[in-house]
Each structure stands twice: as structure tokens, then as C-alpha cells.
Copies of this chain bind each other. A is one copy, B any other.
């Protein structure tokens, strides 16, 4: 019932092959080309992508697998990826794993079934979940989190360096007792912790780092315990957005305020961060560039599949906010 390339061919009085060639931009007689285009328009013909992909053996599609679509970092990166993909005539299939390795494996399988050209992946684990297969069937570029070995191309933030910047910033603001909260599972967390301790050592600070467990309850408990200690830190660095919100919640429950009672800094800039307390200092990731770079690496990899794995490390940018800027509105509580 639906109209196909044969119908167009008939209307234009040419062969289906010619219609295909016109649509693909291959050289055909201008007069014919015109007739074909007119026929396409008059019939409202839309090619069947399934047929096209089956025959041509390439999907012109890449997969983008992210750990959390609700995370603004990933949405921003995926926007960037999508726009450069579109410019190259590639479609993007966006998959959300919710940090679940099983879903990740399932999506990776699905993308194979779709015969995608390649995949950009923000892995939910240190090891990429393969779903029982030993080999992935397409090139993969990792973003945000690296595989421990150099198996895959990847583009990462310079986590260690940026954590150093954060510590230096807090130091400059006058803070001396700084505690760092880092994810227990991810390479990203480990790198940031390393930078954190290195900078602290250089500045002569004795700092504390805490590996925060991934489960919600345990994380809340650890944080509440930290903040209600007698010798409470005067600044906290949170390695990711979830932790940062957890800290904020714990602070509010304890009746503490940022930046009056404690400073708080972290990674990933969100538009609301300038409004809580005196503002949160954060490291902003170059999301646009991460996306562009990942896409470029993937395209390179497609061109020569056997090149050595590459690792691109990008610098972030400190967005300084907090006590020093808003000293004018610091105040004491009236009650309690």
C-alpha cells in the first residue's frame, strides 16, 4: 500500500535504479533527474530505511550509551555529539543504562543487531560489560570514564588536575580542613582523589578522603556522620553531582549553611548552583568539546580500525563562587 521506489520510477518514466541514483546524488541526466525529483515530490515518496540499510550494509547510525540521561553533563554531551553526527549524515541512537551494567550489556547487544557503525559509550563500570561476548563488533569510544587498560579510545576530563584546582581554590578562600568525597567504584573518582591528595600535600594540608559507597542509604549515612563530627571540615569537595546534592541535604538537615558554616565545591556546573547559599564553586567540563572529540575519534577509528588506541584528556574550567563573593550577605541566625 505504501508507495515505494518503483512507484516513483513509474511516475517518472525511468527505472528504479535511476531513482536510486538521483536520490544518492550520483550522476544522471539532468532532465531525468528533474523528472525524478518531481515524481518524488508528487508521490510523497519516503525511502524505507530498513530496506536501504539491509541492501547497502551500512546503517549510517551510531549508538550513544550513557549512564544517566537525567545528568545534565550527558545531555549536553549528547547534544554536541548529535549535532556533529547530523552534519555528517549520521543518525544517533540514544540509550540510557541508568548505571545498570545489565542494561548496558543489553543495549550493546541491541546496537549490534542494529548494525551500528560505531558506539560512543559512557560505561557504568570500570570494565565494559560485553554481555557474554568477548569482542564488541563495532568501534567504541569511551567518554567520561576510562577503561583501565588502553583497550579503547577515550576522551576524558583531566580529573586529577581539576581536583587540584579545586583544592587550590578552596585553600585560597582560606579553608584548611578539607574533606573529599569520591565514588568508590569509578576510575573517575579515583583520579580525582589522587589529584585532591596531591594538591593537599603540596599545600601542606592534612586532608581526609572518603570513598563513598554507591548505595543511597550508605552514602547518606557516611555524609551525615562526617558533618556531625566535633571537628567538622570547613570545606567539602564532592566528586559528582549526586554526592553534592546529598551533602546539601545533610547540611540542611543539620541546620548548617553554605557558605557560612562550610564551603562546598564539586564537578559539573548546573544552572542552579549559583543560587544555593553563596554559590557553589565547581569544575565545568568542556561538554561541547568532549562530544566533538568523541565523534571525531570515532570517525577516525572507522577509517583506520587498526590504529593504536588513543586517549584524549581535556582540561576543565574552574567556576569560582562562594563565600568570597557574597561576604556582604553573610549573617547570623536569629533563632534556634
Contacts and interface: CB of A to CB of B under 8 A. Distances in A.
Interface of A: 2, 44, 46-51, 53-54, 59, 69-70, 72, 75-76, 78-79, 82, 91, 93-94, 96, 98, 109-110, 112-115, 133, 137, 245, 248-249, 252, 255, 257, 270-277, 327-336
A43 to B, nearest CB: 12
Contacts of A252: 274-275
A333 B333 contact: no
6 contacts: A50-B50, A69-B75, A70-B75, A248-B272, A257-B329, A328-B336
A82 B96 contact: yes
Number of this chain's copies in the assembly equals 2
A46 B112 contact: yes
B50 A54 contact: yes
Contacts of A96: 78-79, 82
Contacts of A329: 255, 257, 333-336
Contact of A54 (B51, B272, B328, B336): B51
Contacts of A133: 44
A59 B70 contact: no
A245 B72 CA distance: 15
Contacts of A112: 46
Contact of A69 (B2, B69, B98): B69
Contact of A276 (B48, B114, B276): B276
A212 to B, nearest CB: 17
A69 to B, nearest CB: 5
Contacts of A54: 48, 50-51, 54
A104 to B, nearest CB: 14
A1 to B, nearest CB: 10
A331 B334 contact: yes
A328 B335 CA distance: 5
A109 B50 contact: no
A96 B271 CA distance: 20
A76 B329 CA distance: 36
Contacts of A113: 46-49
Contact of A245 (B137, B271, B328): B271
Contact of A270 (B79, B94, B249, B272): B272
A331 B328 contact: no
Contact of A275 (B59, B276, B327, B334): B276
Contacts of A76: 70
Given A48-B115, A75-B69, A115-B48, A272 B272 contact: yes
A252 B47 CA distance: 53
Nearest to A328: B335
Contacts of A78: 69, 96
A218 to B, nearest CB: 19
A2 B334 CA distance: 73
Contacts of A51: 50, 54
A332 B335 contact: no
A60 to B, nearest CB: 11
Contacts of A275: 248-249, 252, 276-277
A205 B75 CA distance: 41
A143 to B, nearest CB: 17
A256 to B, nearest CB: 11
